[in-house]
Amino acid sequence: MAASILSVSELTQQIKQELEILFPKIQVKGEISNFKHHSSGHIYMTLKDEGAQIPAVIWKHAASRLTCRPADGMNVIAEGRIEVYPPSGRYQFICTSITQEGEGALQQAFAKLLQKLAAAGWFSDERKKPIPKIPQTIGLVTSPTGAVIEDMGKVLQRRFPPATILLYPAKVQGRDAVDSLISGISWFNAQTSGQNRPDVIIVARGGGSLEDLQAFNEERVAEAIFNSPIPIISAVGHETDFTIADMVADLRAGTPSIAAELAVPDSLELLRHITSLGATRESLLKAKIDGAEREIDSLCSSYAFNRPVLQMQQLSEELDSTVERMARTLEGKQRETGMRLEAAARHLGLLDYRKTLERGYTLVRRKGHMVTSAKNLRPEETVELLFHDGTLPAEIRSGTPS
């Protein structure tokens, strides 16, 4: 019996069935070439190695879920199935997911370290140090070249120009990146002077694949961040990227620019806040002064405060009255004394010997002393005779006093 003759379509259909049944789900390792992201959203490329190549397709719905960004020259592990395309009589690899070669092991190591450090409490909020609100000095551990340092510098200068920025040029990718990052963190913490010791450290780099970010998923780097006395902000990759360093750090920022935003206050907002505080303080002080003035006015108008004044007024009135009484009494005493003096003068006038002399009497004076008896006189003594209108000398002659 002659062998059956198959048409091209029949043969292709049998090959399609056999191949698609034989390879329903496989993983293929190879290098991407001829990469093209079509406007439809589908991705077309070739997977190759040194001995062969196979066309590959990633349909739009699968392309939107990729965790890495395919590119020519990238070594990947693609997962999917074999499909035969009859119109062109060729087979192709339909990819459902792609990971960069080596990422599988890195993912496993990441998950294992994540579990270990979580159990040790390295990610707990209780151990995270607060970020200073107004840092004077900021330490940057990042690459000295590229957009990261430029973007961060612009943000820091715009938001808070007074801050001093110190850069530790570190490698953020490759074999020496781990030691370089640890050295940067250690160097800042070893500084003792205020000029070189930052208030906060930012560890940063731009986006990349899991392999590019591997240094930030190493336990030694996590330990350096965990043990840093200075608070650390981690800003590694894009907002969708998460690293061990992000979770151990005291604060995680989605991007380096966001880290710069979080590290310093907005100087304009700070000035507005200071102005507001000044106005509030002034208002509170004015209210306190007004209250004190009202309290003083109340005290000054109170009976207890004015009682001494009233008493002083009363005492002053009593003093005036006493002075008036004393003046009247003194005046009366003066009049009475004057009258008594006048009476005494009149009485003394009556006793004046000169008045007696006017009535015809004479006084005899010897050697300045009045002679009151004739017996006290001797003959031939010289005496003075005192008349009311003058004095005459006289001499005593012998004779017998009568």
How far is residue 48's CA from residue 50's CA, in Å, rounded to a whole number?
7
How far is residue 210's CA from residue 152's CA, in Å, rounded to a whole number?
23
CB atoms closer than 10 angstroms to residue 157: 13
Q: Are 132 and 200 in contact (CB under 8 A)?
A: yes
Confidence (pLDDT) at 55: 93
Lowest-pLDDT range of 209-223, 290-304, 346-360, 363-377: 346-360
Q: What angle do CA 268, 133, 252 make, to 5 degrees?
A: 110
Q: What does R_g of the chain's alpha carbons equal in angstroms?
A: 64
Lowest-pLDDT range of 270-284, 294-308, 316-330: 294-308
Confidence (pLDDT) at 1: 44
209-223 residue pLDDT tens: 777 888 998 999 999
Confidence (pLDDT) at 60: 92
Domain ranges of the chain: 8-101, 129-265, 268-315, 354-395
Q: Are 70 and 76 in contact (CB under 8 A)?
A: yes
For residue 274, give the H/E element and its range.
Answer: helix 267-301
CB atoms closer than 10 angstroms to residue 259: 29
Confidence (pLDDT) at 24: 85
Beta strand pairing call for 26-37 and 43-48: antiparallel
**AA letter at 156:** L
220-269 residue pLDDT tens: 999 999 999 999 999 998 877 788 999 999 999 989 999 999 999 988 88
In whole angstroms, how far apart are CA 207 and each of 71, 97, 157, 239?
15, 20, 23, 9
How far is residue 70's CA from residue 61's CA, in Å, rounded to a whole number?
15
3-state secondary structure of 270: helix
Q: Are 171 and 177 in contact (CB under 8 A)?
A: yes
Residue with tokens 């005492």: 315
> Taking 90 as the threshold, does the pLDDT of residue 66 lie above it?
no
Please state which CATH number belongs to domain 129-265. 3.40.50.2300
User: What are residue 116's phi and psi, to 5 degrees?
Assistant: -65, -50
Q: Are 369 and 375 in contact (CB under 8 A)?
A: no
Strands (E), 242-293: 251-252
- The gap between the terminal CA atoms of the chain, to the nearest Å, is 232
Confidence (pLDDT) at 37: 92
3-state secondary structure of 169: strand
Give the closest residue to 189 by CA, choosing from 135, 139, 230: 230
5 versus 200: which is more confidently predicted? Answer: 200
Q: Are 45 and 34 in contact (CB under 8 A)?
A: yes
Percentage of the residues of the chain whose pLDDT score is greater than 70: 97
Q: For domain 8-101, which architecture applies? A: Beta Barrel (2.40)
> Taking 90 as the threshold, does the pLDDT of residue 372 lie above it?
no
27-64 residue pLDDT tens: 998 999 999 999 999 999 999 988 899 999 999 998 88
3-state secondary structure of 75: strand
3-state secondary structure of 51: coil
